[in-house]
Structure 1
């Protein structure tokens, strides 16, 4: 008897599965017939330049838009163009050109070199004054010597 009960319950389960499969097969058929489709799911058209004759569709038309104030927009663009033009004029070509690899080092040391250059000039002037006091030599020869030392220092800096 236990085997009869098992067979009976298995048959019932098989019948239930068959019924579920039939229901699943019927469901797509019902959808294709249009019984479940609703008009609420469809998107509503919006009309911008077209004016429909149907009263129901006229509700979906967009209101006429007014053109924006073009004069103010043009004035703003002209003003921005003027500022851009001044920016272009302010731009220096040397800033755009590629630089040597050591340009940053030279930039960083420039202040120190200027300070040293001033000290050097003061020292040269002081040396000239001392020679004038001590030797009482001809002024032109001393100035020539100072000029030569200046030129020599500048040549050394360039190298």
Structure 2
């Protein structure tokens, strides 16, 4: 315990000696790389020994008030401009009576399209396998030609269906054709 006490007293003496040396160096004007801080008197005037009033020409520090000085006026101005603009009738127009039906049908149609694409891919694979069986075993299957043939067949079906719809151009015929097409897809989907 005495060694611990002796060590702490020795450390304290060394600190006091270092402080004395530093104080003597400051008084003498020679410092060991440390600078003396001068007081900056912002509100006190040493000549009049009173408070110094801030002059109007002096620029103070940046404050929040200065940062948001024109913000309120700008917001009011933008709000007035928005009020003066014409109303967009498309934004306030009521929705049609069947908008919810269309929304629900889009989900079902997405499922139908996915299943249709899967069925087309299955048919394409079956045709490729049939082509491989019919050809001699040494010949290679031309995949690009098979894909082109499938696309051509799909395009022909779409054109023939468009022609059928155009031929039915009577009153409500397009609507009936689309309904019939939708019913067929729903039947396929339910099966």
Q: Which TM-score applies when normalising by structure 2?
A: 0.30
Which has the greater radius of gyration? 1
* Higher relative contact order (Cα pairs below 8 Å, separated by 6+ residues): 2
Give the number of the structure whose residues are more often helix, by fraction. 1
Q: Which TM-score applies when normalising by structure 1?
A: 0.35
